[in-house]
Amino acid sequence: MAGIAPEVRALMRPSAAALDPYDPAFSPVDVILSANENNYGIPPEVAPALAAAVTEAAWNRYPVPLGGELRSQIAAWHNVAPERVIIGNGGDELLFNFFLAFGGAGHALVSCPPTFSVYGLYASMVETPVIEVAREKDFAPNVDALVEAARTAMLVVVTSPNNPTGDLFPRDGVRRLCEACPGIVLVDEAYMEFADPGSSVEGLLPTYDNLAVLHTFSKAFALAGARVGYVLASAPVVAALAAVRQPYSVSVLDQAAALAAVTHRDAFLPAIEAIRMDRTRLSATLAGLASLGVRVWPSQANFICVRVPHARDAWRRLRDERSILVRDFSSTPGLEDCLRITVGKPEENDLVVGALTSILKGE
Ligand SMILES: *Cc1c(COP(=O)(O)O)cnc(C)c1O
């Protein structure tokens, strides 16, 4: 893609002029383990219902802005009132709307890096100051320091399981943040379906009006291409997010696809369970490469964070010589020499381990 020419950059709003187009670092390969997608795809028994729903959708009509039936079904599933649910064009749109609604100059965000880079990006787009409370050894969040920082923040974002480190944020930490923060505490649970049952903080929603929980259909529900996410929060927080959203951001087609996923959600469980089991197996296999300098962190998500010698080099050789794409985090502070490997199908996991082993052995 052409860069932003200096004379065009000079015309841009200052916070936008600091940016460059997002690069998902994708290249065409045989084995895609780079974006934490669900490599099993839509379950075969759901695909016809999803196709029918999309076909029968009213393409000539604007979508119901807040997703009438989809919203009701998500609410029933999570056992909350529909007024406590808001849908978005992927979790990403909802994240952006949090910054539009609650961020801006003088409205600080507290975050806990290394974490999802999108938070910092969206914060900067709307001139939101960011207070970063870095994780400690082995990525443990410094909850005491986060709570202190939260006292003057308008927005706190924690990610559970965290991307790319894979760990859950402690529930008691979320409680303390909700009590300390005068603003909103957003817990990004994009990967929660892959975590041990009972790990979600949704159960705290009735207790804390300033808690919001983000979910997406992109990961466990194999709809990254459709772009649908949702937030559970108090009705007034949902109303604030509704006030800043683009009214028709979630298309008729995307709502139909997501609704089919919700009504058939049990059909996704076998693949989710397979991914969880293969995560254990892949982690153990990678941990067995310790003599080659490999370090693995435990994960509750559908990916694994590993440290390998000369990670950037290994990443390039995986892509160019083996046609396997993983995500390189080696230039992210705190993630030196780290790669993030999505847990794919068993044969894909075997391929990446085999290839990585031979690369690290210098073969
Ligand atoms: C993937 C992801 C999301 C949301 O992705 P969408 O595809 O926009 O729904 C949100 N948070 C984290 C941490 C993610 O990794």
* CA–CA distance, 243 with 100 (Å, rounded to integer): 10
pLDDT in tens, 165-195: 999 999 999 999 999 999 999 999 999 999 9
User: Which residues touch 276 (CB under 8 Å, ≥6 apart)?
Assistant: 194
CA of 70 to the centre of ligand 1 (A): 19
Share of the chain above pLDDT 70, in %: 100
Residue 1 resides in a domain = no
**CA 163 to ligand 1: nearest atom:** 13
Is pLDDT at 1 greater than 70 in this prediction? no
Asked whether residue 115 falls in the same domain as residue 177, the answer is yes
Asked whether residue 280 falls in the same domain as residue 330, the answer is yes
Mean pLDDT of 128-156: 97
Hey, which of 37, 38, 92, 191 would you mutate to test ligand 1's pocket, going by the most ligand atoms within 8 Å of its Cβ? Answer: 92
pLDDT in tens, 47-82: 999 999 999 999 999 999 999 999 999 999 999 999
Hey, which of 38, 217, 218 would you mutate to test ligand 1's pocket, going by the most ligand atoms within 8 Å of its Cβ? Answer: 218
Which domain, by its residues, includes 164?
Answer: 47-266
Q: What are the backbone angles phi and psi of residue 356, rounded to the nearest 5°? A: -65, -40
Task: Please compute Rg for the chain using Cα positions.
Answer: 21
Mean pLDDT of 201-219: 98
Q: Whose CA is nearest to atom 2 of ligand 1?
A: 190
Domain boundary among 244, 266, 288: 266
- Is the CB of residue 163 below 6 angstroms from any atom belonging to ligand 1? yes
**CA 91 to ligand 1: nearest atom:** 9
Domain boundary among 249, 266, 283: 266
User: Which residues touch 118 (CB under 8 Å, ≥6 apart)?
Assistant: 92, 95
CA of 224 to the centre of ligand 1 (A): 9
pLDDT of residue 151: 98
Asked whether residue 337 falls in the same domain as residue 261, the answer is no
CA of 122 to the centre of ligand 1 (A): 13
Q: Whose CA is nearest to atom 11 of ligand 1?
A: 190
pLDDT in tens, 101-124: 999 999 999 999 999 999 999 999
**CA 159 to ligand 1: nearest atom:** 13
CA of 231 to the centre of ligand 1 (A): 12
pLDDT band at 9 (very low <50, low <70, confident <90, very high): very high
pLDDT in tens, 330-346: 999 999 999 999 999 99
Asked whether residue 10 falls in the same domain as residue 57, the answer is no
- The CATH number of whichever domain residue 30 belongs to comes to 3.90.1150.10
Asked whether residue 34 falls in the same domain as residue 67, the answer is no
pLDDT of residue 196: 98
Strands (E), 85-151: 85-88, 109-111, 130-132
- Is the CB of residue 228 below 6 angstroms from any atom belonging to ligand 1? no
- Is the CB of residue 188 below 6 angstroms from any atom belonging to ligand 1? yes
DSSP class per residue in 193-257: GGSPTT--SGGGTTT-TTEEEEEESSSTTS-TTT--EEEE--HHHHHHHHHHS-TT-S-HHHHHH
Hey, which of 111, 214, 216, 221 would you mutate to test ligand 1's pocket, going by the most ligand atoms within 8 Å of its Cβ? Answer: 216
Mean pLDDT of 205-222: 98
pTM for the whole thing? Answer: 0.97
Domain boundary among 250, 266, 282: 266
CA of 220 to the centre of ligand 1 (A): 11
CA of 227 to the centre of ligand 1 (A): 10
Q: How many domains does the chain have?
A: 2
- The CATH number of whichever domain residue 69 belongs to comes to 3.40.640.10
Q: Whose CA is nearest to atom 14 of ligand 1?
A: 190
